[in-house]
Every structure is written in C-alpha cells, then in structure tokens.
Structure 1
Amino acid sequence: MSLTLYYHPLASFCHKVLIALYESGVDFEKRIINLGEEADRAELQAIWPLCKFPVLRDHARVRDVPETSIIIEYLDRYYPGAQPMLPADWDDALDVRLWDRFFDNYVQEPMQTIVNAHLTGLSCDQTKERTKLKTAYKMIEKRMSTRSWICGEAFSLADCAAAPALFYAATLLPFPEEYHHLQNYFERLVTRPSVKQVLDESKPFFSMYPFAADIPERFL
C-alpha cells in the first residue's frame, strides 16, 4: 500500500485529513500513534521531529508530508478523488484556503486551548477563547445563509477543516439556538458519508475526551 497515515482517531486535526482521504477513495494504511508510549513517540519523531500528527507517508514517492492543509493539497495533486478539494480557479482556491485557515485558527485553536487547560489542570481565564468561538459562530451563520458548503456548492478542503472543528467546539460552546444556518451546515457536515465514517471510527475513543459527557448521544 502506497500511503500510511500516522494519526490518532480522537484528534480533531487527524479527523480533517481522514475526511479528505475518505473523500478521495484512495487506499491507505492507518498507524495509530499513542503519544503516551515512548516507542510511538520515537517513531513519529523520526518522521517529523516536531512530533505532531497527522503525518502522511507516501512510500511510492518516498515522501513524508506533515501539516493537515498541506496533506490535503498533496492528496488533491497526487491522489485526487472525484471531487477536488481545491477548485481549479485561483480566486476560488484562495477563498477555500482562507476558510480552511479560519477553522484551524479561530475554531480549532481556541477549542484546543480550552481542552488543554482542562487536561493540564490549569485554572485560567477562558473568556478570550470563548469570545473567539462566539465571533466565529456569528461569521459562519452569516456566510451560510447563501450557500450549501462553506465556499459554495462544492465540498472542499475548508469543509474538511470545519467538520471536526465544529464538532468539538460545540461540546464546549453550543451553537446559539437562533443560528439556524450554522446548525443546518453542521447537520450537512456530520451526515456526509466521509465525516460520518470518521465519527463512527472515533466512538471507541470518545471516552478519553475530557468533555465526553457533552457529546450528543447520537454520536456515541
């Protein structure tokens, strides 16, 4: 098998890449990395010294590819599916890249800061992070009033980023009841086959998530 993904089934950034892999339909091997195990850490660190997953190893092209957005662009170039993750038009592709960064930086980042503070036992003011999430929700609600997916009518890299970011963020800060466009977008995301497969595969690991009690029962 040409591709191996080094990842963990609970990690939201790994979900982002898994969604793209399932969208492409390419065969790949899964290598779960437990960062609590010294041997696993050493294996990942030998591939990517920063010791962060996911990392994609392409055995056929003798290349290791880190960083979620780069991995998905790489797949789009060398292992494309029926639906491109990046549009051919430059301006449309720029919009996709913008919203990909939006979900990583303004939904994933504050969400992970809150989760990490809980895991490490740090009692810090989380007002800044929750404000970022509220602002992000408001921006998504406005944008989704005129489109099916975050960058138009086609599922893209940006939606790969949106699905895990919103899934976990909603366990910390539920979507406002009046944000119907955001809620409908989330439903389209979690019922898409690639996203549903990722969430189904994560079920055995959800108990490890510190806010597992706030995951809706339908996902458990």
Structure 2
Amino acid sequence: MSLVLYGHPFSSYTWKALIPLWADGTDFEFRSVEQHGPEFAALAPFGQFPLLVDEGQVVAESSIIIEHLQRRHPGPNRWIPDGDAGLRVRFLDRVFDQRVMDRATVPVGNALRPEDRRDPYGVEQALARLRAAYDWLEGELPSDGWAVGETFTMADCAAAPALFYADWVEPIGDRRPRLLGYRRRLLAHPAVARAVEQARPYRSYFPLGAPDRD
C-alpha cells in the first residue's frame, strides 16, 4: 500500500484529510492511532495527526497533506485551484482552521483540565472570537454552492469538521442563515457524511457532551 494515513475517526483534522481521499477515490490504508500508537509516534515529527506516509515520505499537517495529494495523487477534484481562486481557498482554509476550529477547541480542552487549572476567562475570549468568525463568515459565504464558487475545495474540507464541531460548542443559530445553510450542505456531501458516520461510535469522547443531533 503506497499511501497510509494515521489519524483518529473522531479527529477534526483527520476528517479534513479523509474527505479528499474518499472524494477522489484514492487507494489508501487508514491506521487509527489507537491501534497503531507506537508506530505513529515513531513517525510523527510533532506527535500530531493526521499524518500521511507516501512510499516512506512523511507528510504532516492536514492542508499540506491535501496539497501533496493534489500534486502526487491527483483525482477528479482540484482541491486548490490556480490564480485568485486558489488564494481565496487557502485564505478560507486558514480561517476555518485557525478562527473556527482552533477557537472551538479551547472550551473542549478546558473541560479536560483539572478543575483547579481551568480558565473561564480564556474560554470566554475564545467563544467571543468564534462568534466574531461566525459573523464574518455569514457576510462572506454565498447563499448556495461551496465556499469558493461551485467547486468543492480544500476550503470546504477544512470547513466541514470545523463547523460540525464548533456548532456543538457554540451553536451557529438561526440568525446566521447563510452559515447554517452552508453547514447543512457540507454535512450532506457524501465524503463528509461518511466521516460523520465513521466518527459516531466515538461521540462519548466529546468532553462537553455530544448533542443528540447531526
């Protein structure tokens, strides 16, 4: 098997790498870090997943994995287009990773801390910044289609897990109909729906308590 992806089915950034692999129909082997922990740890430069191994070459970071797949294992989808559209895709990829997903992980991480080391103020700040990102996206996203036009791109690969989990932490709400509609379209995409289903048995891992939806 030339391609091996290490990750976890409940991990948002693992989803981000799985979605293009599945959507392109790329042949690969998935190895859960729960079953292959020592093997993964020996390969991972920073101990973080997902991690792609391509004929011995180790590729870390979900965005770089997607770019590597487009260059080395192209399929029917073009994840990062050329020109200005490609810049927009890369920009929104950073927004969804850093302004949505990373903010949403703050309350989750806080819940895992010992009670005497929790940071309510840090959580409050993260949620305020997450709401600001929601408001910005509401004004930037189209009313239909995907993040950058009619083509599903790396920006959407980042958006799907980010908005899936962020809405569990801080609901998007009906006053942001464009963002809420975009999340619904993402969850209906076959590769995203597959990620959701594969992760379903692990919902008890969510420390804030997974909602009874999605």
TM-score range, shorter chain: over 0.9
In structure 2, what is the Cα distance between the partners aligned to 1:214 and 1:32? Answer: 24
In structure 2, what is the Cα distance between the partners aligned to 1:128 and 1:139? Answer: 17
Which residue in 2 is equivalent to 1:123?
118
Moved over 3 A (4+): none
Which residue in 2 is equivalent to 1:106?
99
TM-score, structure 2 length as denominator? 0.93
Counting matched residue pairs gives: 210
Conserved? CA contact 1:171–1:215, under 8 Å:
no
Which residue in 2 is equivalent to 1:57?
53
Structure 1: runs of 5+ lacking an equivalent: none
Q: Which amino acid aligns with 2:155?
A: A
In structure 2, what is the Cα distance between the partners aligned to 1:45 and 1:145? Answer: 41
Q: 1:199 to 1:70 in 2, by over 3 A?
A: same
Q: Which amino acid aligns with 1:18?
A: L
Per-residue deviation, residues 88-146 of structure 1 (Å, max 9, x unmatched): x2221111000001111001111112111111234212121001110111111111245
Per-residue deviation, residues 16-69 of structure 1 (Å, max 9, x unmatched): 1111111111011111003xx8x71x322211231111000112xx31111000
In structure 1, what is the Cα distance between the partners aligned to 2:20 and 2:77? Answer: 10
Q: 1:102 to 1:215 in 2, by over 3 A?
A: farther
Mean Cα deviation higher: 11-20 or 114-123: 114-123
Q: Which amino acid aligns with 2:83?
A: W
Conserved? CA contact 2:111–2:208, under 8 Å:
no
Indicate yes or no: 2:166 matched with 1:169.
Answer: yes
Which residue in 2 is equivalent to 1:76?
70
Q: CA deviation at 1:181?
A: 0.7
Conserved? CA contact 1:17–1:71, under 8 Å:
yes
Q: Which amino acid aligns with 1:196?
A: A
Identity %: 38
Mean Cα deviation higher: 174-183 or 145-154: 145-154
Q: 1:181 to 1:146 in 2, by over 3 A?
A: closer
Indicate yes or no: 2:204 matched with 1:201.
Answer: no
Mean Cα deviation higher: 9-18 or 115-124: 115-124
In structure 2, what is the Cα distance between the partners aligned to 1:107 and 1:58? Answer: 29
Which residue in 1 is equivalent to 2:4?
4
Q: 1:11 to 1:137 in 2, by over 3 A?
A: same
Q: Which amino acid aligns with 2:146?
A: W
Q: Residue 213 of structure 1 aligns to a residue in which SS?
A: coil
In structure 1, what is the Cα distance between the partners aligned to 2:142 and 2:54? Answer: 39
Conserved? CA contact 2:203–2:210, under 8 Å:
no
Q: CA deviation at 1:215?
A: 4.8
Conserved? CA contact 1:24–1:79, under 8 Å:
no
TM-score, structure 1 length as denominator? 0.90
Q: Residue 65 of structure 1 aligns to a residue in which SS?
A: strand
